Structure 1
Amino acid sequence: MRNNKWLILAIIILPWLTFPFLGRKNIKHFWPGALFMSLFLMVEGFVAQQRKWWWFYQSLKPNVLGLVPLTVGPFFVGSIWILRYTYGRFWLYLVVNFIVDSFFVYILLNWFTRIRYASLIEMKKYQLSFCFFIKSLLMYGCQVLVDKNR
C-alpha cells in the first residue's frame, strides 16, 4: 500500500456510516464500555509499538499510532454493535467476539500484511487472539460495572 490514505480513511469512515442505525438509546447505554476499551487499546497500541509486537507501516499523520483508524472506526463502533445484540447473554457475547476476533486475526491481518498496512512482528497470532479475548472480558466487565452504577 503505497501512500494510500484512502483505505485508512475508509477504515475510519465506513463503520461510522452504520452508527445512526444503532439508535440513540443503545449508543447512550453502551458507549462507556466501548470508550473504555478503545482507550485501553490505544495504551496497549503504544506499548505494542515500543515492544515491537506489531507494526503499522502507515498512519494518517506522522507521530500518530497506526492503530488509531482501527480503534476509532471498526473497533469502537463494532464494540457497540456487539454489545447491543449480545449484552446480557454472556456466552453469546463470547462466541460473537471469538468469531469477529478470529476473522480479524486470521483473515484480515493477512490482508493487512499483504498490502503493507500492518503486520505482527514479535507477537504470534494465537497471542493476539488471547489478547482480544482478555479485552473482550474487560469490556463486558466495564459495561456491567457501568450498569450497576446507573
Structure 2
Amino acid sequence: MFNKLILWLLFIAPWLSLFFMKKEGIKRFMPVTLFTALLVTIIYEIAYTYEWWELKVTIVPWGHITNVSYAYGSFLIGTIWIFYLTFKKFWLYLAANMVVDGLDAFLIREFMESRGIIHYINISKLNLFLLMFTLSLIAFGFQVFHERVFKLEN
C-alpha cells in the first residue's frame, strides 16, 4: 500500500508544481516534454521486450509495461522544469541533466528496487544513466529544431 502511495505522489506532486511556472513556459516547452514522454514510453516498451527491468507495483491496471508515475509524472514534469530553468544555457542544461539523471539512475532507482516497486534484470544503472542522458541530448536537439521552425513561421 505504501508503495502505491509513493507512485501516486510521484505522479501527482510534479503536476502541482506547474502552478509555480509561467504559462508561457508551459506553452513553450510542452512540445519537447510530450516528445520525450513518447520516447520514454517507447523505451519502456523496449525494456519490456528485452527484460531490462520488471515493474512489480503499478498505479493503473495496464501499467506493467510503462511506469505511468514516472513517464507521465515525475519525468514529464521534470523535463519541462529543466528546460524552463536551463534551456538557453547549454552547459547548465547538460549539468542539470547529468545530476538529475544520475540521482535517478543511482539513488532513486535503488530506492524503488529496495521497496520492491521495480526489479532490474538486464540493464546496469550506468547504462540506464547513459540512456537517459542520451535522451536529454535528443530532447535538446528537438527543442532547438522546434524553436527554429517556430521563429520561421513568425
TM-score, normalised by the number of residues in structure 1: 0.94
Number of the residue aligned with 1:115: 115
Matched, 1:55 2:61: no
**1:6 Cα deviation (Å)?**
1.9
Number of the residue aligned with 1:147: 147
Share of identical aligned residues, percent?
29
- Report the secondary structure of 2:119's partner residue: strand
**1:61 Cα deviation (Å)?**
2.4
- Find the aligned partners of 1:119 and 1:82 in 2 and give their Cα distance: 27
Q: Is the 8 A contact 1:3 1:58 kept in 2?
A: no
RMSD: 1.3
Number of the residue aligned with 1:77: 77
- Find the aligned partners of 2:124 and 2:92 in 1 and give their Cα distance: 26
Q: What are the Cα deviations for residues 82-115 of structure 1, in whole angstroms up to 9, with x where unaligned? A: 0011101111100000000101111111110110
Number of the residue aligned with 1:101: 101
Report how many residues are paired: 149
Looking at both structures, which has the greater relative contact order when contacts are Cα pairs under 8 Å and sequence separation is at least 6?
1
- Find the aligned partners of 1:105 and 1:4 in 2 and give their Cα distance: 18
- Find the aligned partners of 1:126 and 1:105 in 2 and give their Cα distance: 7
Q: Which amino acid aligns with 1:25?
A: E
Moved beyond 3 Å, runs of 4+? none
TM-score, normalised by the number of residues in structure 2: 0.92
Q: Is the 8 A contact 1:59 1:66 kept in 2?
A: no
Q: Which amino acid aligns with 2:9?
A: A
Number of the residue aligned with 2:128: 128
Number of the residue aligned with 1:33: 32
Structure 1 stretches lacking a partner, 5+ long: none
Number of the residue aligned with 1:15: 14
Q: Which moved more, 1:59-68 or 1:32-41?
A: 59-68
Q: Is the 8 A contact 1:11 1:73 kept in 2?
A: yes
- Report the secondary structure of 2:10's partner residue: helix
